[in-house]
Chain A
């Protein structure tokens, strides 16, 4: 184990004894703070507390995601208001949660530097050479006589352990073997990953921005209304984008399969610099900004009543979209359309009718007469929902992800150390004293050591 030796501690203590009282006191406070903030018990407590917060956040709809209505819908007026008032309905932005994240960050930093990173030094320290008596004191050990010479035992032991993935070293009659040395790096790599993740998230919050923009074809949009942190060091792009066309692809059954939007990017001089058709899972990237296909709908229906052209707002109704035109005497005219190519179906509904009545169907760019009024269906106006974001910390976050996955995967590798002492006994036989340690997979390791004499026999016959 690394850390101060006894003599280091005595010298440090003597230094303290000769120091003024306030220095001693401040050193004690420092040590106490450092030990407390790096404590594993604190880690587990904070992790558990965070789990409770996240659980509450998963249970209660979050106003930042789905608005207050969803909270009232799920819990009723009174309970919903209570959850909003105490902050559970916006728990991930509550001061308590942010404080908890802050504490956890401090704990990770202190824990990493106190317990985790110092273990890197252990990788450089070679295994000590042990005597037979020292080996016999280990919790996992075995002693047996091999009916072969000392050099042959060395060869077979070395071959067998190499096959099992151990790196073997000899020093005369003594042997050391080590396996899964890099498994010890697991906590270090994981903690580096967690700290890198924090760095990436902080960098994004300082310099990144995001937003959502519903756009109809022909409309030009910029990023003026982008959301970003209050303390912000970034800048918004000076280029613009427009949607030249958008459409929906359906399965034969009528369900939406994919949404597409053709995006044109123009620089500040209005010069086209990029054109791309995006879809869900296929975004456009330009100068660090990504534009995503997020949603899609039909926004309006173009109907010409005689000579007057009107755009009727559409609402999604399951697989269909519908527009409602109020008429006198509480009657209503309903226009229902499935997609841009399908005909519009026109219904009328009066208060005393049990159900709407179908009046007519009109194909796009066709005309029909209703009484003495001619109606021309001139198609639909689609609206594409575009999400955009600039995330400068993302490469750092990706590196952090790689570290975290790597670190946690390394944890599955058991680190094992074996020591052996070989001694020549009567009639050319060899007494093998072998033992070792393994923090993981102790049972299979103990079996391996216990069956070693049989295994050495097999090596000889192989």
Chain B
């Protein structure tokens, strides 16, 4: 009789989730060029649903395997992130019925599956918790943060689509290049030994230049591509994602403060990771103020949301891969 360990079961269901996510991406791409668009989209959504269910099982099994709440290292956080991306997409598509976000969401979750599985061994294996992490606060503080990061990213992706349907192709291309370079810097920081100073320069430099150029290119419109109704829908999807993510980020940051106060006697110590979370919070606070007071057009708000996406990536992964220090160094691998 074949004996299967709990670890193998966990790896199998997680791999199924990764593969279905990849297949969903190609299905969405195929759907865009096929005449059976609707049916292929439906198939892709079923694949995403299967991936979501498998990943839910994978995370729960990981918890049993580790005999603790399964969110204690970078690998586990990438599983939660991919889970939130898939779940968030399913909720948004149910409410708004828009499939174009599907290929971006499944691409992002696939990238996170790959990122997680290529992490160094010390970031994947189940290791004992350091004393500071032995607390019930871990399961209160961390999941809302990871889910908020995923929803902010979905919001940024919806904003890219908003730019597409608003005919802002040049702005879109510049924003997409900027995000690609930012992700590239994070990947180089994770998998190579390139000096982090150069990678910080690549991340920050490309983000500043790219988003500035993207902002300045907004007046360039491709009228043939404009679909006002769809642009409005993706603007609304972006707003909706932020309206859920911001309370989660606020809750995560505040519970982090409460935990720090409980463990170390101070709720705020300007640790780099908490400072970065504050920067992200501030960027979305600015977004909310700009939105409520109608200070900017939907396209400019999309650029603000994309800047928020880049800051979210910096807070979540850039912190570890680009060589910052501080109290939240559990995910570091350098």
B-contacting residues of A (Cβ < 8 Å)? 40-41, 43-44, 47-48, 50-51, 54-55, 57-59, 61-62, 65-66, 70, 92, 187, 210, 251, 253, 255-259, 279-281, 283, 290, 292, 294, 387-389, 391, 394, 397-398, 401, 404-405, 408-409, 411-412, 439-444
B278 contacts chain A at the CB level, 8 A cutoff: yes
The 9 A-B pairs of least Cβ separation, nearest first, read A58-B275, A251-B128, A58-B272, A389-B265, A281-B135, A280-B131, A51-B282, A409-B247, A412-B243
The CA-CA distance from A425 to B333 in the complex, in Å, is: 75
Give Cα distance in the complex from A405 to B251, angstroms: 6
Q: Which of B56-64, B209-217, B231-239 contacts A (4 or more CB under 8 A)?
A: B231-239
Interface pair A253/B289, CB less than 8 Å apart: no
B276 touches A58 (CB 8 A): yes
Chain A proximity of B181: nearest CB distance (Å): 18
Structural contact, B258 and A40, CB atoms closer than 8 A: no
CA distance A50 to B271 in the complex (A): 16
Question: Across the interface, do A412 and B265 meet the contact criterion of CB distance under 8 Å?
Answer: no
Q: Which residue of B lies closest to A443 (CB)?
A: B236
Contact B254 A411 (CB under 8 A): no
Inter-chain contacts of A43 with B (CB < 8 A): 286, 289
Measured CB to CB, the nearest residue on chain A to B271 is A65
A200 and chain B: residue at smallest CB distance: B267
**B134 contacts across to A, CB distance below 8 A:** 257-258, 280-281
The distance in angstroms between the C-alpha atoms of A295 and B295, with both chains bound, is 49
Q: Can you name 20 extra interface pairs (CB under 8 A) apart from A55-B279, A70-B325, A412-B243? A: A40-B290, A43-B286, A43-B289, A44-B295, A47-B289, A51-B282, A54-B275, A58-B273, A255-B127, A280-B132, A281-B137, A281-B259, A281-B263, A292-B263, A388-B265, A394-B261, A404-B254, A405-B250, A408-B250, A442-B232
Query: Which residues of the partner chain B approach A283 to less than 8 Å between Cβ atoms?
Result: 262-263, 265
Residues in A whose Cβ lies below 8 Å from that of B95: 444
Query: Does B292 touch A at the CB level, under 8 Å?
Result: yes
What would 8 A/B residue contacts be, using CB atoms closer than 8 Å?
Answer: A43-B289, A58-B275, A59-B272, A251-B128, A259-B131, A294-B264, A401-B257, A405-B254
Q: Contact: B239 with A256, CB < 8 Å?
A: no
Which of these, B233, B251, B270, B286, contacts A65 with CB under 8 Å?
B270
B 16-46 binary contact with A (CB < 8 Å = 1; else 0): 0000000000000000000000000000000
With A and B bound together, what is the CA distance between A412 and B271 in angstroms? 29
Q: Is the CB of A387 within 8 A of B265?
A: yes
CB distance from B331 to the nearest CB of A (A): 15
- Complex interface: chain A residues within 8 A of B200 (CB): 59
A61 to B329, CA, bound (A): 14
A257 touches B243 (CB 8 A): no
A43-B289, A257-B131, A412-B244 known; A290 vs B265 contact (CB < 8 Å):
yes
Identity of the chain B residue whose Cβ is nearest the Cβ of A66 in the assembled complex: B325
Q: Which residues from A are CB-within-8-Å of B262?
A: 281, 283
- Given contacts A253-B128, A441-B240, A58 and B295 within 8 Å (CB-CB): no
Task: Identify which of A187, A441, A442 contacts B292 (C-beta below 8 A).
Answer: A187
Residue of B128, B243, B258 touching A411 (CB-CB under 8 A): B243
Nearest Cβ on chain A to B222's Cβ, whole angstroms: 24
- Whose C-beta in chain B lies nearest to the C-beta of A45? B286
Question: Of the candidates B233, B257, B292, which one forms a contact with A443 in the assembled complex, judged by CB atoms under 8 Å apart?
Answer: B233
Tally chain B residues at the interface, Cβ within 8 Å.
57
Any A CB within 8 A of the CB of B324 = yes
Chain A CB within 8 A of B130 CB: yes
What A residues does B258 contact at CB under 8 A? 398, 401
- A58 and B286 CA atoms in complex are apart in Å by 20
> Which residues from A are CB-within-8-Å of B289?
40, 43-44, 47
CA distance A408 to B148 in the complex (A): 13
Residue-by-residue, is B112-147 near A (CB-CB < 8 Å gives 1, otherwise 0)? 000000000000000111111011010000000000
Query: How many angstroms from the CA of A59 to the CA of B318 in the assembled complex?
Result: 11
Given known contacts A281-B134, A404-B254, A443-B96, A40 and B275 CB-to-CB distance under 8 angstroms: no
**Does the CB pair A440–B243 fall under 8 Å?**
yes
A44 to chain B: which residues have CB within 8 Å? 286, 289-290, 295
B283 interface residue, CB < 8 Å from A? yes
A370–B264 Cα distance when bound, in Å, is 45
User: Does B173 touch A at the CB level, under 8 Å?
Assistant: no
Residue in chain A with minimal CB distance to B263: A281
- Shortest beta-carbon distance, A221 to chain B, in Å? 15
Is the pair B295, A40 in contact by a Cβ cutoff of 8 Å? yes
Closest to B127 in A: A255
Contacts of B273 in A (CB 8 A): 58
Q: List chain B residues, Cβ under 8 A from A404.
A: 250, 254
For the complex, give the distance between the alpha carbons of A255 and B125 in Å: 15
B267 to chain A: which residues have CB within 8 Å? 394, 397
Q: Which residues of A contact B251 (CB under 8 A)?
A: 405
Q: Across the interface, do B246 and A280 meet the contact criterion of CB distance under 8 Å?
A: no
Question: Do A411 and B276 contact each other (CB < 8 Å), given the known contacts A257-B131, A283-B265, A442-B236?
Answer: no
User: Is the beta-carbon distance between A54 and B128 smaller than 8 angstroms?
Assistant: no
Tell me the bound Cα distance from A54 to B273 in angstroms.
Answer: 11
A388 to B266, CA, bound (A): 10
A43 to B275, CA, bound (A): 19
Complex contact B279–A54 (CB within 8 A): yes
Contact B246 A411 (CB under 8 A): yes
Shortest Cβ distance from A44 into B: residue:
B286
Q: Does B12 contact A (CB under 8 A)?
A: no
If A281-B137, A408-B246 touch, whether A57 touches B275 (CB-CB below 8 Å) is yes
Give A51 to B127 CA distance when docked, in angstroms: 35
Interface status of B228 (Cβ within 8 A of chain A)? no
Q: Is the CB–CB distance between B254 and A401 below 8 Å? A: yes
Q: Which of A57, A61, A388 has the most CB of B within 10 A?
A: A57
The listed residue (B130, B244, B264, B325) touching A61 by CB distance below 8 A is B325
Residue contact A62 to B270, C-beta cutoff 8 Å: yes
CA distance A48 to B286 in the complex (A): 7
Q: A47-B289, A54-B275 are in contact. Are A210 and B265 (CB under 8 A)?
A: yes
CA distance A251 to B126 in the complex (A): 13
Once the chains bind, are A411 and B247 in contact (CB under 8 Å)?
A: yes
Q: What is the CA–CA distance of A41 and B289 in the complex, to the nearest angstrom?
A: 9
In the complex formed, the residue of B with least CB distance to A406 is B247
Q: When the two chains form their complex, are residues A50 and B246 in contact, meaning their CB atoms are under 8 A apart?
A: no
| B 198-218 contacts with A by CB, 8 A | 200
Please indicate the chain A residues that have their CB under 8 angstroms from the CB of B254 in the complex.
Answer: 401, 404-405
Known: A58-B276, A256-B131, A283-B265. A92 touches B270 (CB 8 A): yes
Chain B residues 134 to 185 lying within 8 A of chain A, measured CB to CB, are 134-135, 137
A398 to chain B, nearest CB (A): 8
Q: How far is the CA of A47 from the CA of B200 in the complex (A)?
A: 23
Contacting A210 at CB < 8 Å: which of B266, B271, B275, B326? B266
